Amino acid sequence: MTSESSTSLGDILRLRAEHLGKALSIGHGKPLHISHGSMQYLYATDGTRYLDLVNNVCHVGHSNPRVVEAGQRQMALLNTNTRYVYDGLTEYLTRLAATLPEPLSVGFLVNSGSEANELAVRIARAHTNAYDMVVVEGAYHGHTGMLIDLSPYKFRGPGGKGEPEPWVHVVPIPDTFRGGERDHAAEFDEIVRSAGPIAGFLVESMLSCAGQIPLPAGYLAAAFEHIRAAGGVCIADEVQVGFGRVGTHMWAFEEQGVIPDVVVLGKPMGNGHPMAAVFTTPEIAASFEEMEFFSTFGGNPVSCAIGMAVLDVIEEDGLMQRAEALGERFMAGLRDLQSKHPIIGDVRGRGLFLGFEMVRDRDTLEAAAEEAQALVGEMRERGVLLSTDGPLHNVIKIKPPMVLNEADIDLTIDLLDEVLSN
């Protein structure tokens, strides 16, 4: 594989500035000119290898050969849409449904997490004949008009309106690090009670943009009870945390001991090929039968072949079990760093969905956002890609391709130690 590039970085940046909307920014601070990826690594055009600890889309590895081969083979054979009958669709739906608890057996296949969340909300509204939605502070659920209104991360952020639409009810982040002794269940109950008829609650099974936060034990059980009592449907957004990333379970909601009414899958589903899905119960799906549903590309034979290969790799290589073991190793390393470096205020996560929160003072919890950004830059200079998130931009998030190894983790911990000691 050559890392030659015919266009200089300067030219590419000039062309991006000319032809790409400015609303889209480049990740990783300084532009990284990459030529190819292989499993947990990205390669720059200058030959530098980077360990990718950020990209949870390339779940089973960048350009995983088994996934590539499955897509190539199917592309050469047949690609059409779901109005035709072919084996791949039903094989894939059956396989996916088998990973979900009963009664979540009816799936809709689409092309992005946004499309899937949008569909999930439409299904909830059709089922309940209600309109209002409940979401968690700091959440991001997608880029469509409806989902911007349902994403406090966006409507409260730059360019946003600031206040939620009257049909959107925002519950606090159940953040035990910053939330102190707050009674999140009581606050949740109060917000739902004072709202109008509720169509649903859209919630990530572990919070990503809100700061890599595993929900406190019992949170979803209590929340779902309040929502169902109000007549609403509970939608789990597994776009970031699904497909075994949390290690102990295929789906992060399982860790909370609940069964949602609707589950939304995305990002890792096609390992980079655009795929997403909504799964629900036969009863709820029946409420959504009146209006015809069709997605031109959703569930096409190539996507099904790719999605099937992703599931094969997760299963055959035991990636979920590996995520648990590797996560424990990572967590232990991060906890050691926390005991050495006061700037690490909190370390949290499950499996390979991890984060650590940087603070200037462990008593006041003043956010160390610039320090977090600087750390990301220093690590990138050392060949490790990380990024920041959370409402205060001071959480370092870790959600690598699930194929990384022990040596990658040990190296990362050593390098973090080196940077934090400077």
Minimum gap (Å) between residue 422 Cβ and ligand PMP: 32
92 part of the interface to ligand PMP, by CB under 6 A: no
Indicate the residue among 208 and 281 with the shorter CB distance to ligand PMP. Answer: 208
288 part of the interface to ligand PMP, by CB under 6 A: no
Indicate the residue among 233 and 368 with the shorter CB distance to ligand PMP. Answer: 233
Give the Cα separation of 141 and 150 in Å (integer). Answer: 7
- Write the binding mask 208 to 227 for ligand PMP: x where contact by CB under 6 A, - elsewhere: x-------------------
Among 175, 237, 346, 357, binds ligand PMP (CB under 6 A): 237
Dihedral, 347, 350, 355, 358 alpha carbons, nearest 10: -20
Indicate the residue among 121 and 239 with the shorter CB distance to ligand PMP. Answer: 239
Indicate the residue among 157 and 383 with the shorter CB distance to ligand PMP. Answer: 157
204 part of the interface to ligand PMP, by CB under 6 A: yes
Among 59, 62, 127, 141, binds ligand PMP (CB under 6 A): 141
Indicate the residue among 212 and 281 with the shorter CB distance to ligand PMP. Answer: 212
Indicate the residue among 143 and 156 with the shorter CB distance to ligand PMP. Answer: 143
Q: Which of these ranges, 74-82, 135-143, 286-294, 408-416, lies near ligand PMP under the rule CB under 6 A?
A: 135-143
Number of residues that bind ligand PMP (CB under 6 A): 14
- Nearest residue by C-beta to ligand PMP? 113
Give the Cα separation of 12 and 180 in Å (integer). Answer: 47
Residues from 258 through 287 that contact ligand PMP (CB under 6 A): 266
Question: For binding to ligand PMP (CB under 6 A), which residues are involved?
Answer: 112-114, 117, 140-143, 204, 208, 237, 239-240, 266
